[in-house]
Amino acid sequence: MTALIQTIDTPDGALTLLVDEDQRVLASGWSTDHAEIVARVHPSLRPERIADGESDAADAARAYYAGDLAAIDGVAVRQHGTEMQAAGWAALRRIVPGSPLTYSEFAIELGSPQAVRAAASICARNAPALFVPCHRVLRADGTLGGFAWGVPVKRSLLAREAAAMSAVA
């Protein structure tokens, strides 16, 4: 399999996207280090070859940053994980922008209220950041907690979403 890799400029810094032949995002993150992005992909999905190229996902990311928060919702992603991880990644895509959940609330959303650590692990193992918005999950006390691409990026994404949603209300 050949995948395309592309880096675009965003207000939060360079965003690199790795997409497969079917335009599904395998991984993305705020880094120019291609090896770092590829390393986020499950070994069973890692492409044999990677070429520079344009992707529909990059257009969706640009639209998101231009204020169309829903632009990322329809972008196809591809991840490999357990049944619970897959359910968690799907649940992350249902979190409304501007209305983040705590890890406890996310565990309840998954149907396992006691599985707070598992909920956090699902977020940590999420490769296509932005398109599977794990940044929308917070600690129980409302603080940001960790984020693979740095707390400043997480803070910026949440602030952007809150501002856009309040402008609509």
Q: Which residues are catalytic?
A: 134
Residue 4 DSSP class:
E
Q: How far is C-alpha 8 from the geometric centre of its chain's CA atoms?
A: 16
User: CA dist 92 to 51, 53, 116, 164, 167, Å?
Assistant: 29, 28, 14, 19, 23
Q: In what order do the strands lie in the sheet with 25-29?
A: 25-29, 13-19, 2-10, 49-52
Measured between its terminal Cα atoms, the distance across the chain in Å is 44
